[in-house]
Amino acid sequence: MTNYAIAIHGGAGTIDQSLLTPELAAAYHAGLAEAIARGAAVLADGGSALDAVTAAVVALEDCPLFNAGKGAVLNADAGHELDAAIMEGTSLGAGAIAAVTRVRNPILGARLVMERSGHVLMAGAAAERFLTAEGMELVAPDYFTTPERLEQLRRVQAEGRGMLLDHDAQSVTNPSVTDRAVADKTGTVGAVALDSQGRLAAATSTGGMTNKRPGRVGDTPVIGAGCYADDATAAVSSTGTGEAFIRAVAAYDVAAQMAYAGRSLAAAAEEVVMTRLPRVGGQGGLIAIDRTGAIVMPFNTGGMYRGYLRAGGEIVTAIHR
């Protein structure tokens, strides 16, 4: 049997079960399953891990349930600033974009930076000019806005809660209300994959934190913090309080422990998420896959939207423990 595998996440946070109606939970599971299916189809056809994680994250960016692309959270000025990164583990090629406002699928922008710019990270309006010159069509900023996100921002600002992880914005809502408008709170998205040629890749995309300061950039586009891949060790995609993931160099730390200390993927990921991140106030989780196809998805929050598929197996999705 051809060996391949893919895992995805849709963010980690409080994810209050009292707000998650059966209908809404089903919608999340369906969104996760669709993203996995898109990526797995690439792998089943002999495609690359890089193409698989791209396809999976595009699906998550297009689903307004998740905080990336359409339906991304709003900053303190009620605007969108989107970040994304992608990395392949064979040559350690990587690309990222930060604080863009008109890129419909930020992960496609990150991939263009990797493949055509000669750089790793580009930001803001200049990044968008480069992408336009490379043939990418931009969208109006309001493409990303949904009524639910506007309501979420207003509620967070009215409560004076500062910046919040998207899932944790649930805590500001009225717990007696369980409609989609208040329960639709998800976070950073990402994917990791191993293809039949033994290549690894990772991709991460986000709208950031609700009510963040304009200009704030988190871990997602920082290679080694929110995204990392090396065929010799693992592919990793992170989600959570970005500042802590940057300070811990979280995604790279998993691979480094494997390379330099000989630790297993499971042990390395557990150490990062449960010990090293909490030391700097880090909440969240990560997904990772190694060159053998082992998958781990640890998180130190109430839940993490996640799922995976291995060759010959069935799609598995989960939200809480």
Judge whether 85 and 242 are in contact, CB under 8 Å: no
Mean pLDDT in residue range 168-195: 57
Residue with tokens 């150490």: 271
- Sheet order of strands, 303-310 included: 121-123, 94-100, 82-88, 200-206, 189-194, 5-13, 303-310, 316-318
Amino acid 164: pLDDT: 60
Pairing of strands 234-240, 284-290: antiparallel
Coil, strand, or helix at residue 242?
A: helix
Does the annotation list 16 as a binding residue? Answer: no
Active-site positions?
Answer: 188
- Angle of helix 22-44 relative to helix 49-62, nearest 10 degrees, comes to 150
Taking the mean position of all CA atoms in its chain, how far away is CA 107? 10
Amino acid 19: pLDDT: 77
Whole-angstrom distance, CA of residue 162 vs CA of residue 184: 19
Does the annotation list 79 as a binding residue? Answer: no
Question: What's the whole-number average pLDDT of the chain?
Answer: 91
Structural domains of the chain, with CATH:
5-313 (3.60.20.30)
Q: Of 58-67, 78-87, 159-168, 186-195, where does mean pLDDT reach its minimum?
A: 159-168
Does the annotation list 71 as a binding residue? Answer: no
Whole-angstrom distance, CA of residue 249 vs CA of residue 224: 6
Does the annotation list 217 as a binding residue? Answer: yes
**What is the pTM for the complete model shown?**
0.92
Residue pLDDT, tens place only, 4-54 = 999 999 999 878 887 788 999 999 999 999 999 999 999 999 999 999 999
